[in-house]
Structure formats: C-alpha cells, structure tokens
C-alpha cells in the first residue's frame, strides 16, 4: 500500500497505513517528511533495476521465501519461473527504518529547540575557550618576540622622525627672517588680546573680585586665628597680627566702670535686703508672740520703727559712706587700710585659711561668720573671678569637713554639715533664686492653678472628709466613728477609691515635676553641680568601699532634698511664686505640693513606702523606676568641668585684668575677722614663715572701732557715744584688694610679675619690628622707621593713660617700661629672659617659644574676658532688677505690718483708755512689768530620759547625772545660751537660735551635734523650748 501510494504520489494515506498496517508510532507533523523520504528512497531503488517483474520476494521469519504479486495480490511460497523479483519497492523493514529515522530527527530537533539557550551558552563557552586559547598563544608568541618587535618599531619610527625633521629643518632654514617676523607679530597680538580680555573680565566682575578678595583675606585671618588658639606653639608672625587685641579701648574702660558700679549696687542691695529679711522675720516672731501675749506691744512698735528707718535710709547711708571709702578716712588710717587690703586679698585667693578657720569656731558662730564675712569677701560671687574663688573655698572646706568631721557616710544625710548648709544657702540666695524660679516656677504654678486638683494620701484625712461630706449631703449626724486608725479607714471602699484616685493624680503631677527637673539640668547652677562632684569624689576617697548607689544617694540628698525640695514644699518662702503682702497659699495647694515633694524625696533616695505608708505601696514600682531616672540625672549633674576650665582662670588672671578686685565690707566685719584670725592663728597658719603670720604681725593687735576710725570720729562727750560707735561699726567701706608681694622696682624675686613685664615689652617690640623668631628680632638692630613707629605707639599710649581712671591704671614701673625706646626695650627683654631661663620658665634652645605661647594665651583670654564682661553686664542688670523687685516686696510687707500694728493700737485704745503708748517706745504702759527671763537647768540624765539628748561622746550614760545644762534666754527673741557644766565646772557654752532649729526641723534634720560632742534630737529640743519658754 505504501509503495502504491508513493507511485501515485498520494501522501494522504501514508500516516494511516503506517499506523494500521505497520503499527508504528508516527508524528502527524512529520507526514510530509515521511512521504518525502520514502519517495526519495523508492526513487533510489528504481534506478537500480528496470527489468523487474510484478512479484515481490519476501523473507518470512528470516527462513522462508514468500512471493507476492502486487497486481493480482496472490502469494506463493514457490518461486515463479522466470520471474525476477521486484526490487524497486520498499520493504517493510526499510519503511520502518525511514519512518523511525524521520521521527527521531524530528524529536531531536524539538529537543534542540527546547534547550536552545543551553546550547547557545555551550557554544559560547566553547568559542570563548577557543578564542582565549588563540589569544594566549598569540600573546605568548608576542611576549617571546617582544625585543625583536620593539627593535623593529623603534627603527622604523626613528627613520620616519629623522626624515620629517630633516625636511622641516630645511624649510625653516630657508625662511628664518620671515618666521621671526611672523612669530613676533603673533605673540604681540596674542598678549594684547589676552590682556584686554582679562582687563575687561576684571571690570565686568569687579564686585565679585572684591568679595573673593575679602573672603580670602578673612579666610587667611581665620586660619591665623585658629593657629593662634589651637596650635601648641603658634609662630611669631601669627602672634604679631593679633597683638593689637591686648590694647585697651575707651569702650573697655567704660564697660569696666559700669561693671564695677553695678557690682557695687548689687552687693549693697543684697546686704540691704538680707538685713530687711532678717528684720522682717524677727517682726513675724514678735507679732506671733504678741498674739500669744508673750511680749508687750511696745516691743513690736519699737522694732517697727527700726524696720521703717532701715527700709528708707539704710541703702542711701551705705552707698554714701562707701563712696567716701578710703578717702573719707584720716590719712594716718590709710596705711592700716592698705594692710587690710593685703590681708583680705590673701584670704580671698588662698582658701585654706578660711576653710580651717570655719572649723575652729563653734557651729553657730561659724554660720554667722560665713553668712556675713565670707560672702562679703567674695562679693556674693558677683563675677566669674569671685565665683571661682568662692567655689575653691567651698571645695577646700568641704574636703576638710569630710576628712575631719564625717565618720560614717550617712553623717552627711543625718547631720547638718556646715559647708553643705552654706553652699545650699548661697545657691538659694540672691544668686540662685532666679535659677530655682526658672526651674520650678512654671510647673509649681500649674499645680497651684489647678483648682480641681486635690491630692490627699492620708487614709484618716480622706475618711474624715468623706464622713463630713455624707453629713452635709444627708443633713444628719453620721453613725460612723469620727476618730479611726489608718487600718480602720482603709476598710471602707469609698476611702480606698478616693485614695487610689489621689494616687493616680499624684503620679501625673509628679511626672510633670520630674520632666521639668530632668529637662533643666543645664539651668542648675554650676556651683551646685561642682560641689556635688566634689562631694562624690571626696566621699569615695574616704570611703572607697561605698557603692555608686550610696554615693549618688548622698548627691541626691544635696541636689534634690536640700536644694529643690524646700522650694517645692514652700514656694512662697523661696520666691518661686509671686505673693502679695499678707497673701497665703491655700492648705489644699500646700498639701498637693507636699505630697509631690514626698514622692520625689522617696524616689531620689530609693526609699519605698513601707510601715506607716504601707497604703501607698502600689507606688513602689513607680518609685523604683523614678529612682533610676534620678540616678542618671545625678550622674549627669556631677559631670562638669573644673572651675579653671569653666571660668578660664589661672595664676596670671589677676595680673592681666583691667581693674583690681574690690569688696564692700563693714568696719565691724573687718575687726571681727582680724580678731578671729589672731585667736586661731596657730591652727590656720602653722608655719612660722607663713604669709598670713607676716601680715598679721604687720597689722598688730585688733583695733577698736574708735581707734580704727581715728581720733575725732566720735565726740567723747556724746551721751550716746556707745550707740554711735555701734552704728559707725556698720559703716561699709570699699577695699581694693592687692597682693603685698607684687614685684617692686629693682626686685626680681617675683617671677610671675617679671613674666608679665617681659611679655608687655615683647608685644611692644614685635608690633614695630618684624621677624620670624624672637631671637632674630632681639639680635637685629631697629631701623629709624621702626623707632618712629615705636614713638607713635608710646604717644598713643600716653594719651590713653591720661584718660584712664586712677584705679584702673597699671603700676608706675610698667608705664615707664612702655615709654622706653625700642633698643632699650630689647635690652631689658634680654636681661629678663636670662632671669626667667635661670628659673626654668623659658629656654633659649626653643628660641623662647614658651613666652610666645604665654602671650598667645593672654590674647585668647582677653577676648574671652571681653565676652564674659558683656555677659556679666547683662547678668548684673538682671540681678539688680530682681533685687529691686524683692526690695519693693519687702517694703510692701513693711506697710502691711505697719497697718497691722496701727490696728492693734487702735483696738488697744478702745479697750483701755487709761493706757498710753507712744510710738517712740519711751513710755511704758502703766502697771506693766518687764518679762523676767529665767533660765532652766537640767542634768544630762534628765534630758536623756526626755529623749532630748541621745548620746555624749566619750561619756557613759551612768555619768550623765554629773553633767548639767543651763538654758538661758537671750536678749533677742528666739536666742538661747546653753552652758554645759561637769561636776559644777563650766566647760563650754553655745549660742542657739530658735530659727535655726525650726529650719533644721523644716529640712528634716532629726539629729544635730552640740558642743561637737552631744547628739541632740532636734524635734524634742524644740518641744522643750516651746513648753518651758513659750508655754506651748
């Protein structure tokens, strides 16, 4: 069938026949390929034989022959005679082979198409391999033949270049004249064109060029200045450019005078306000005692007159007398005052003396000494120099107190350390009040203004408030008991709910205060932070086994409990909020602030609510979390630079400042200080050759007031001579502090002063004579022009000196040095440098670079000083405004008291017309008797039984009966004198101020030391004094 179809050329039945007859797997897509290949195979057979018959010979089972007639379709196993088998037809095996081959080729083609990408990649890799192999072979060949190739190339290039050169040389040699002429014209044209173009460009961009030049000059100046302030050894050429900064201008003098004037006003106003505040506090006590009938109305009236007089005239008198100063005293007193100026300069700049003196006196006396003399000596830290020196005193005194007075680390918390009290008092005073106000005023005012805020964490108070509310709502008496314990109050659900609501409000409000505190670290006074740092390091040095937490709790006691906490509890007492005369904080507001302060106090000390405060234990987790924040805050607070770095002050600062330090101190304070120094001289100046001993020896014995002022200061016949002297003792004078040991003419002992003089001479020389090094300048003679420039500088300085205020002028020797010719200055510089080199301060090996560095340092400091002075002017003006506001408030308070006293007088007149009271206090009420102040006596054993005395060092309890305490009221209300006697022999006595006890109680100090031996319970001592002397 296949062969017939092929002979007919019919391809249609091919697939069917192959599938049905042969049982082959065929692919329809290959039908044409089957027909084409079968036809080609059949055609090949047709060419092999043409005389074939119609019989086909087939081999059956590879053994038997079978003959088939293609026309008749007959078949036989016997071969027909004379028949040649037909061979032009394809056999079944051939057909199968051809079909299988076509199908296999098709399948292979489809496989190639399906993996075309892989095949391409394979081919690419193969081609790449072949190309790389050929490249490597070629490269290896070239590398092997490189010398030959280079030689051939070089030969050929040389040949071509020589040929071109020879040809060009012939052309040029033949046209030399023409070439020269062309070149000259072209060059001239190019230069002219470039010049005109450049000139026009400059004209078109003149503004930009000027700006660029200014930028470059400024950049060069900045670079030079960075070299001046940053380089370890700035070159002399850079130093010369900035030497003019050391000159003083008219503006410098004006600012310096203004600073001095403002500082004088601030110090005077502070002292005036302090006195007014003391008198107002005393007036509070007197009015309180008047209400309780403890003193007569005359006492209050007398104090009121005294207060009015001070408030009106005290400041004017102080300023008037102070302006007279030294000039207002007799000539023979001048020498004495100069000696005191040297003494107070030494005390001010050497903190060791005052630090030792503080602890040589009884505590009550040292407190008064610190509040008056010490703060006066440092002008209440009214500028950076004095703040620096005061901090050095605080540091030295604190280290001394910790070393000698603190036995256990907790003594700082449980006791009342003198220096800590002084630091806190100072930073909460006139200098620190503004800081506390800025830090706490907004959040405190927000708490006080919230009228809906009611915080009460006392279950008993909440219970009573609830019972009262029930009775008001029902109009009937409650059946609930009114007096209950804390446990009984907490059994009521309403009380627990109200308490929980208060705790939630307390947390929210406390978070606001914490946010205000933690975000205001930079506002906290540097002095407080530095003393906290000193406290932490000193305690760690003495108690190396103390943990970081223990040390930070002590720091927290200083920064929060002693400094901030009282201002939160009583904002009206620390000027945190503005109060009118007679105004008061509502009890609810006070309680709210007290609750917040209590939580902050517990958090700062990591103290949980336990025992009596068990009902607040739900806040313990909050307290622990808050303590961690406080801990980080205290650590950050201690991270401050040293005062030398903060204030940029060193040993030369006093020698380069424009004006001398001035203090304003009363004659009484001068005499008291002199007396104390002599009394404790052996303890504070142990060395024989100590400077203090020399100064005290020169001063001689302590003068009395009359001898200090000179004869004729007080009329000897004046009946009120004693009163007049006491009044004159409070006269304030200004002392311009100077060191007695400055360099005098012809003396070379003081190397610091010699260094200053030498630096001034060097600055004069380098400004008029250039040079790369100081040695080069000193060895090179000055020209006439340079001498002329130096003369102009001298004349300019003379004019400026004539305008300089007397107290700001330099010493005569320095002025005379500045007038010398340049060559004489250079010779003097060389002599001074040799002296300084012998002292090891400079070295010729370094070309005296050390003194160049010192001059560069002076230039930097002068710039900083001018900036600090401008800032100080602003700060002093702000402080003065605040002090004036405070004075106005005190005057308003005085008016309020006067109105109250007038009302008392009017009431008294109406009650008893027979009594006559004069406002001058000279007449007494008829029948009145002076209050007789009697003393009380107790043995230490009796006071121990009462719990007033806890222990006495070096004394057993069974010996307490041999110790007698005699308590006597003083002349001033609230003052007591306590004498201690052992077996009838008076041992010691101490002055006690009731206000100090109340302050300690207010600050939470439970135990105080008396006589430096007896530990006394503050609360029980207050109770005893109230009971025995005030009948409370």
Cα-flanking dihedrals φ and ψ of residue 113, to 5°? Answer: -65, -40
Average pLDDT for residues 392-400, to the nearest whole number?
89
Q: Which two tokens stand for residue 233?
A: 């050894």
Give the three-state DSSP class for 965. strand
For 359, other C-beta atoms within 10 Å of its C-beta total 19
* 288 contacts 998 by C-beta, under 8 angstroms: no
CA-to-CA dists, residue 256 to 66, 339, 386, 869, angstroms: 144, 25, 16, 8
Torsion of CA 176, 181, 184, 190, to 10 degrees: -110
Q: In what order do the strands lie in the sheet with 55-60?
A: 55-60, 64-69, 75-76
DSSP 408: S
pLDDT of residue 322: 38
Give the three-state DSSP class for 992. strand
* 684 contacts 696 by C-beta, under 8 angstroms: no
| 213/221 Cα distance (integer angstroms) | 12
Task: Kindly give the residue spans of alpha helices, DSSP state H, lying in 247-374.
Answer: 250-291, 297-324, 331-349, 351-358, 363-369
Torsion of CA 67, 70, 72, 78, to 10 degrees: -10
Residue 920 has pLDDT above 70, yes or no: no
Residue 192 has pLDDT above 90, yes or no: yes
* 977 contacts 989 by C-beta, under 8 angstroms: yes
Q: Which two tokens stand for residue 58?
A: 């087939």
Residue 101 has pLDDT above 80, yes or no: yes
Residue 90 has pLDDT above 50, yes or no: yes
Mean pLDDT, rounded, of the chain = 77
Average pLDDT for residues 92-103, to the nearest whole number?
81
pLDDT of residue 191: 95
Residue 648 has pLDDT above 50, yes or no: yes
Residue 319 has pLDDT above 80, yes or no: no
pLDDT of residue 129: 95
Q: Is the pLDDT higher at 453 or at 257? A: 453
In this structure, of 142-156, 317-331, 518-532, the range with the lowest mean pLDDT score is: 317-331
Which long-range contacts link 936-942 to residues 24+ away (Cβ below 8 Å)? 936/966, 936/967, 936/1028, 937/964, 937/965, 937/966, 937/967, 938/964, 938/965, 938/967, 939/963, 939/964, 939/965, 940/964, 940/965, 940/1014
- Summarize pLDDT for 665-713 with one digit per residue, the tens: 888 888 888 888 888 888 888 887 788 888 888 888 888 777 776 655 6
89-98, 101-110, 628-637, 869-878: range with highest mean pLDDT: 628-637
Task: Kindly give the residue spans of alpha helices, DSSP state H, lying in 932-1026.
Answer: 940-946, 994-1002, 1018-1025
- Summarize pLDDT for 406-450 with one digit per residue, the tens: 888 888 888 778 888 888 888 876 554 567 788 888 888 888 888
Residue position matching structure tokens 């790369």? 772
H or E, element range at 1009: strand 1007-1010
Which long-range contacts link 672-676 to residues 24+ away (Cβ below 8 Å)? 672/369, 672/373, 673/344, 673/347, 673/373, 674/340, 674/343, 674/699, 674/702, 674/703, 675/702, 676/357, 676/361, 676/369
Average pLDDT for residues 455-475, to the nearest whole number?
78
Global pTM reads: 0.53
Let me know if 806 is exposed, middle or buried by CB neighbors in 10 A (0-12, 13-18, 19+): exposed
Task: Kindly give the residue spans of alpha helices, DSSP state H, lying in 350-383.
Answer: 351-358, 363-369, 375-377
CA-to-CA dists, residue 28 to 72, 102, 106, 111, 525, angstroms: 32, 12, 11, 17, 101
Confidence of residue 912 (pLDDT cuts 50, 70, 90): very low
Average pLDDT for residues 986-1013, to the nearest whole number?
73
Q: Which residues of 285-319 are buried (b: 16+ CB within 10 A; e: fewer)?
A: bbbebbeeebbbbbbbbbbbeebbebbeebbeebb
DSSP secondary structure of 563-616: IIHHHHH-GGGGTSS---TT----HHHHHHHHHHHHHHHHHHTT----GGGGGG
pLDDT of residue 991: 82
User: Can you name the residues that pair with 975 across neighbouring β-strands?
Assistant: 993
| 359/366 Cα distance (integer angstroms) | 7
Torsion of CA 645, 648, 652, 653, to 10 degrees: -140
| 854/755 Cα distance (integer angstroms) | 9
Average pLDDT for residues 868-876, to the nearest whole number?
76
* 603 contacts 559 by C-beta, under 8 angstroms: no
Give the three-state DSSP class for 413. helix
Cβ-proximal residues to 490 (8 Å cutoff; 6+ apart), any chain: 459, 496, 499, 615
Confidence of residue 916 (pLDDT cuts 50, 70, 90): very low
| 818/824 Cα distance (integer angstroms) | 10
H or E, element range at 868: helix 849-911
pLDDT of residue 132: 94
Torsion of CA 28, 30, 36, 37, to 10 degrees: -120
pLDDT of residue 811: 54
Residue among 436, 643, 640, 633 at smallest CA distance from 552: 633
| 668/332 Cα distance (integer angstroms) | 19
Residue 318 has pLDDT above 60, yes or no: no
Q: Is the pLDDT higher at 656 or at 736? A: 736
Residue position matching structure tokens 């100590």? 690
Residue 326 has pLDDT above 50, yes or no: no
Confidence of residue 269 (pLDDT cuts 50, 70, 90): confident
Confidence of residue 924 (pLDDT cuts 50, 70, 90): very low
DSSP secondary structure of 341-354: HHHHHHHHH-HHHH
Confidence of residue 747 (pLDDT cuts 50, 70, 90): very low
CA-to-CA dists, residue 305 to 159, 302, 319, angstroms: 125, 5, 22
* 908 contacts 915 by C-beta, under 8 angstroms: yes
Average pLDDT for residues 646-666, to the nearest whole number?
66
Residue position matching structure tokens 């424009």? 658
Cβ-proximal residues to 92 (8 Å cutoff; 6+ apart), any chain: 22
Label residue 974 left, alpha or beta by phi (over 0 means left) and psi (-120 to 50 means alpha).
Answer: left
* 391 contacts 530 by C-beta, under 8 angstroms: yes
Task: Kindly give the residue spans of alpha helices, DSSP state H, lying in 21-91.
Answer: 31-46
pLDDT of residue 925: 38
Give the three-state DSSP class for 209. helix
Let me know if 222 is exposed, middle or buried by CB neighbors in 10 A (0-12, 13-18, 19+): exposed
pLDDT of residue 139: 92
**For the chain, how many residues are written?**
1032
pLDDT of residue 152: 92
Q: Is the pLDDT higher at 846 or at 483? A: 846
| 205/203 Cα distance (integer angstroms) | 6
For residue 755, how many C-alpha atoms fall within 13 Å in the half-sphere facing its CB? 23
| 142/147 Cα distance (integer angstroms) | 9
In this structure, of 34-48, 317-331, 334-348, 551-565, the range with the lowest mean pLDDT score is: 317-331
pLDDT of residue 610: 82
Residue 344 has pLDDT above 60, yes or no: yes
Residue among 503, 526, 522, 520 at smallest CA distance from 443: 520
Q: How far apart are the first and last CA of the chain?
A: 145
Residue among 877, 882, 872 at smallest CA distance from 432: 882
pLDDT of residue 327: 40
Let me know if 45 is exposed, middle or buried by CB neighbors in 10 A (0-12, 13-18, 19+): middle
pLDDT of residue 358: 81
Q: Is the pLDDT higher at 1006 or at 854? A: 854
Average pLDDT for residues 759-772, to the nearest whole number?
83
Torsion of CA 903, 905, 910, 912, to 10 degrees: 150
Cα-flanking dihedrals φ and ψ of residue 66, to 5°? Answer: -140, 135
Q: Which two tokens stand for residue 529?
A: 């932070």
DSSP 325: G
CA-to-CA dists, residue 263 to 311, 330, 386, 648, 689, angstroms: 21, 26, 11, 20, 36
* 650 contacts 797 by C-beta, under 8 angstroms: no
């Amino acid at each position: 069938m296949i062969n017939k179809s092929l002979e007919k050329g019919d391809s249609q039945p091919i697939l069917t026949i192959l599938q049905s007859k042969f049982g082959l797997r065929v692919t329809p897509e290959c039908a044409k390929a089957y027909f084409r290949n079968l036809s080609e195979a059949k055609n090949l057979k047709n060419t092999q034989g043409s005389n074939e018959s119609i019989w086909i010979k087939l081999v059956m089972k590879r053994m038997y022959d079978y003959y088939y007639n293609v026309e008749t379709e007959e078949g036989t196993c016997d071969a027909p005679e004379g028949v040649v088998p037909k061979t032009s037809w394809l056999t079944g095996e051939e057909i199968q082979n051809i079909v299988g081959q076509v199908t296999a080729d098709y399948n292979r083609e489809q496989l190639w198409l399906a993996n075309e990408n892989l095949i391409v990649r394979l081919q690419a890799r193969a081609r790449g391999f072949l190309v790389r192999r050929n490249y490597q072979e070629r490269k290896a060949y070239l590398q092997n033949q490189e010398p030959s190739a280079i030689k051939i190339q070089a030969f050929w290039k040389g040949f071509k270049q020589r040929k071109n050169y020879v040809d060009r040389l012939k052309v040029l040699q033949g046209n030399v004249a023409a070439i020269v002429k062309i070149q000259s014209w072209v060059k001239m044209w190019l230069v002219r064109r470039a010049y005109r173009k450049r000139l026009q460009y400059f004209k078109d961009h003149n503004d930009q060029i000027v700006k660029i030049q200014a930028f470059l000059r400024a950049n060069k100046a900045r670079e030079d200045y960075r070299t001046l302030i940053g380089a370890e050894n700035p070159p002399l050429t850079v130093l010369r450019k900035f030497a003019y900064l050391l000159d003083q201008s008219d503006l410098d003098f004006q600012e310096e005078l203004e600073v001095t004037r403002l500082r004088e006003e601030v110090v005077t106003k502070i002292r005036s306000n302090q006195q007014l505040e003391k008198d107002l506090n005393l007036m509070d006590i007197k009015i309180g005692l008047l209400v309780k009938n403890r003193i007569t109305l005359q006492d209050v009236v007398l104090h009121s007159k005294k207060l009015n007089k001070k408030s009106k005239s005290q400041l004017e008198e102080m300023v008037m007398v102070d302006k007279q100063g030294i000039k207002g005293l007799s000539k023979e007193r001048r020498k004495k005052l100069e000696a005191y100026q040297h003494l107070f300069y030494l005390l001010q700049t050497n903190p060791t003396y005052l630090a030792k003196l503080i602890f040589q006196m009884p505590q009550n006396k040292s407190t008064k000494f610190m509040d008056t003399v010490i703060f006066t000596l440092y002008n209440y830290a009214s500028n950076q120099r004095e703040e620096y020196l005061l901090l050095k005193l605080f540091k030295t005194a604190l280290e001394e107190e910790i070393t000698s007075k603190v036995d256990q680390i907790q003594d700082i918390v449980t006791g009342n350390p003198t220096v800590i009290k002084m630091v806190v008092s100072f930073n909460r005073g006139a200098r620190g009040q503004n800081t506390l106000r800025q830090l706490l005023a907004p959040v405190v005012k927000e708490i006080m203004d919230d009228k809906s805020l009611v915080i009460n964490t006392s279950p008993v108070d909440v219970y009573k408030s609830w019972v009262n509310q029930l009775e008001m709502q029902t109009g009937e008496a409650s059946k609930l008991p009114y007096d209950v314990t804390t446990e009984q109050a907490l059994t009521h659900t309403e009380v627990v709910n109200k308490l929980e609501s208060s705790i939630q409000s307390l947390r929210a409000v406390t978070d606001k205060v914490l946010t205000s505190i933690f975000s205001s670290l930079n506002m906290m006074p540097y002095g407080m932070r530095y003393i906290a740092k000193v406290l932490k390091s000193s305690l760690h040095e003495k108690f190396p086994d103390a943990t970081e937490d223990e040390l930070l709790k002590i720091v927290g006691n200083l920064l929060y409990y002693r400094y901030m906490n009282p201002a939160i509890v009583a904002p009206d007492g620390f000027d945190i909020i503005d109060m009118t005369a007679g105004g008061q904080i509502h009890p609810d507001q006070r309680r709210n602030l007290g609750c917040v302060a209590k939580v902050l106090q517990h958090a700062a000390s990591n103290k949980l609510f336990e025992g009596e405060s068990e009902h607040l234990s739900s806040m313990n987790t909050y307290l622990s979390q808050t303590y961690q924040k406080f801990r980080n805050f205290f650590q950050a607070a201690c991270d401050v630079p040293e005062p030398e770095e903060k204030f940029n002050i060193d040993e030369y600062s006093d020698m380069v400042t424009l004006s001398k330090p001035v203090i304003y101190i009363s004659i009484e304070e001068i005499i008291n200080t002199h007396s104390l120094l002599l009394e404790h001289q052996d303890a504070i100046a142990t060395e024989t050759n100590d400077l203090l001993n020399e100064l005290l020896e020169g001063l001689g014995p302590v003068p009395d007031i009359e001898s200090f002022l000179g004869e004729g200061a007080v009329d000897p016949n004046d009946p009120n001579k004693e009163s007049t002297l006491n009044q004159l003792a409070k006269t304030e004078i200004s002392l311009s502090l100077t060191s007695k040991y400055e360099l005098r003419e012809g003396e070379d002992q003081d190397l610091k002063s010699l260094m200053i003089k030498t630096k001034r001479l060097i600055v004069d020389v380098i400004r008029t004579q250039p040079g790369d090094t100081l040695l080069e300048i000193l060895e090179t003679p000055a020209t006439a022009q340079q001498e002329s420039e130096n003369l102009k500088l001298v004349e300019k300085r003379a004019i400026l000196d004539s305008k300089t205020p007397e107290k700001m002028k330099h010493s005569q020797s320095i002025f005379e040095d500045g007038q010398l010719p340049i060559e004489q200055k250079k010779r003097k510089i060389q002599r001074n440098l040799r002296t300084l080199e012998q002292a090891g301060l400079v070295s010729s090996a370094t070309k005296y670079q050390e003194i160049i560095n010192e001059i560069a340092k002076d230039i930097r400091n002068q710039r900083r000083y001018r900036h600090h002075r401008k800032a100080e002017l602003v700060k002093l003006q702000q402080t003065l405004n605040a002090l004036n506001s405070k004075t106005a408030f005190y005057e308003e308070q005085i008016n309020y008291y006067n109105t109250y006293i007038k009302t008392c007088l009017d009431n008294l007149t109406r009650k008893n017309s027979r009594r006559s009271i004069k406002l001058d206090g000279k007449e007494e009420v008829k029948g009145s008797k002076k209050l007789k102040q009697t003393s009380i006596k107790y043995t230490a054993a009796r006071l121990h039984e009462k719990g007033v005395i806890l222990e006495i060092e070096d004394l057993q309890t069974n010996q307490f009966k041999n110790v007698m305490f005699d308590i006597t009221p003083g002349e001033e209300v609230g003052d007591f004198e306590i004498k201690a006697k052992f077996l009838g022999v008076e041992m010691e006595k101490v002055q006690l101020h009731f206000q100090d006890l109340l302050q300690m109680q207010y600050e939470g100090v439970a135990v105080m030391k008396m006589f430096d031996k007896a530990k006394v319970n503050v609360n029980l001592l207050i109770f005893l004094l109230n009971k025995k002397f005030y009948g409370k």
